[in-house]
Structure 1
Amino acid sequence: MAKSPMNMQGKATGRAGEAEETRLNILDVATLEFADKGLSGARIDEIADRTDASKRMIYYYFGSKEGLYRAVLERAYTAVREIDADNTRSDLAPDAALRDVVGATFDYHHQHPEFVRLVMNENILRGAHIGEIPGIRERNRKVVEQLRAILARGVESGHFREGIDPLELHMTISALCFYNVSNRYTVSYGFERDVTAPKVLARRRTNVIDIVESWCRA
């Protein structure tokens, strides 16, 4: 099979490039639609109206509304796991590596509230579609293994205490970072503090990092 021509940035050009651009445009719009309305509330007609694609083209690329939803989930989880499993942290001291994991996770959740809403919607569906995402468990294992390696280096260096379950650590990090996005409106109204204000956000980010590091410290 002939390869698609590539431009100077290494992207496919011609029909293959246009097809990929259309596919990504559909995913961008569908991500916001599913995040805002969930699987049941989102409409393919509305997604098509907001893209350069027709309804028929969306079905051609993704098969069904459920297929499009799963593709959106897959891309969202792939992106966050790439942040979680950044392999450059092996060059950092274990305490610095852990702080970097927590900070990057906090930042990603804040910058991508649509990811938080997608996760919330999928849990409302009781995880009906997460099992259809190829490689999801393998990507999750890599995240846990990175934390396991950081903890092991920290125990060896005297930074961290022994006996911390890396999956429990991952869940704690996720919970603290997730909450600031998932509950931002109710907390901001109920406690009269805008948790998205830059100074408030920066303080909360530091607190979350400190909380996690303190829990792990020897």
Structure 2
Amino acid sequence: MRTPTNCYLVSLAVADLMVLTAAGLPNITESLFSGHWVYGYAGCLSITYFQYLGINASSCSITAFTIERYIAICHPIKAQFMCTLSRAKKIIVLVWVLTSLYCVMWFYLSDTKEVVFENAVLVTCAYKVSRNLYLPIYFTDFAVFYVIPLLLATVLYGLIARILFLNPLPSDPKESRRNWKKESSVHGNSRSSSSSTTAASRRQ
């Protein structure tokens, strides 16, 4: 956590681990208990919440990291006072606070349901209302946390590629030093030859 890049990577790692845990545990237990939900009502709400929180926080962390890389590469002077460690920590806190508040709605949109069979009752974690009512939420998530970050990343990485293509990184320092010495010697020889020619012409 000593550089802005490390801060964004830690945030991304935490979000991905959250998704892995919240999405992986239910699949494991459902395969072991024949599709029966074993985490109860509170577990249903919490796991659903953390799934969407991890996905959204991961997307926002990648977007913030992309913007930070763009400023650092394309505007290095501005990066000295914009891409600081304290600013990165504030951005990450803001990302997690906003996504946490946004995902609170899933506490009210998820519920456990009982499916009655002839010889058993199966408990599942499912939607609280009809799936059709969730379409606006899914379209909003798709636009805000996928389409917009994807378009932004495409544009910014395109600009980064353009800057790196027009201003390639320097080669090996030793090789650059040798080339500089060669150029200096060539210029020195040309100057000495021109000065000797001038002196000879003056003597004539």
Report which structure shows greater RCO (CA 8 Å, sep ≥6): 2
Q: TM-score normalised to the size of structure 1?
A: 0.26
Select the structure of larger CA radius of gyration: 2
More helix by share: 2
Q: TM-score normalised to the size of structure 2?
A: 0.28
More strand by share: 2
